[in-house]
Amino acid sequence: MALTGLMWYGFLVGHLAGNLTLLSGDSGAAFDEYAGFLESIPQFIIPTELILLLALALHVYCAVSLSREAAAARPIGYRQLRSVGGRSVASRSMIWSGLLILVFLGVHIFTFKYGDRIDGSLFRLVQETFGHAIWAGFYLIVMVALGLHLWHALRSAFQTLGLSARPTLRRLSIAFCTIIAGGFALIPATMFLGG
């Protein structure tokens, strides 16, 4: 799970960096140029997409297997859920945040990758989409779930490696997840407000 998740962290950093050009205030020139550049290198993009898809499928498969094993090991659930032994709101909601992100991905790719560009501009399609409160709101909610999901995933990985007690790592991972989720959230928020 950790390895397949890690590939997505790499993708998210690159995707965020590219998408922040949406906010460069040049009516989409930089973003459309960036999107055009990506389309001009299918020999890189297509294998990357396939690897990400495979990683996602494996990630979901592992998540389903793990929750089945957990349910089988404890057929009668806990009477009371308490935040002890590293359990937190994020850890309990992992399966739900994961499901929401999965639904989001389907909708997101359908809207932007396969959506009709406006006058050939992907920027204008994104701008038009985030002009609707419902879309901007949906993205903001998903980005909160994404931040929690990423944060708990890092916590679990550190726990497995025996590094969970290190406060610096904890702070760094919180900062990293906040930058990723917050960075993505900034885009619909700014564009909705007309930026």
For residues 131-147, one letter each, b for 16 or more C-beta atoms within 10 angstroms of the residue's C-beta and e for the rest, the string is: eeeebbebbbebbebbb
* DSSP, res 117: P
Q: Smaller CB distance to ligand HEM: residue 10 or 86?
A: 10
Which of 5, 188 has the CB closer to ligand HEM?
188
How many H-runs (helices) and E-runs (strands) does the chain carry? 8, 0
When asked if residue 188 is in the footprint of ligand HEM (CB under 6 A), the reply is yes
Q: How far apart are CA 63 and CA 41, in angstroms?
A: 33
Q: Minimum Å distance from CB 109 to ligand HEM?
A: 5
Q: Under a CB-based contact definition with an 8 Å cutoff, are residues 28 and 124 in contact?
A: yes
Binding residues for ligand HEM, total number by CB under 6 A = 20
Using CB under 6 A, which residues numbered 149 to 178 contact ligand HEM?
none
* Residue 124 found at the interface with ligand HEM (CB under 6 A): no
The nearest distance, CB 20 to ligand HEM, in angstroms, is 9
Buried b (16+ CB within 10 A) or exposed e, 17-55: eebbbbeeeeebebbbebbeeeeeeeeeeeeeeeebeeb
Q: Which stretch binds ligand HEM (CB under 6 A): 62-70, 89-97, 156-164, 182-190?
A: 182-190
> Rule CB under 6 A: is residue 139 a binding residue for ligand HEM?
yes
Give contact residues for ligand HEM (rule: CB under 6 A).
Answer: 15, 19, 22, 35, 38, 45, 49, 101, 105, 108-109, 112-113, 122, 126, 139, 146, 184, 187-188
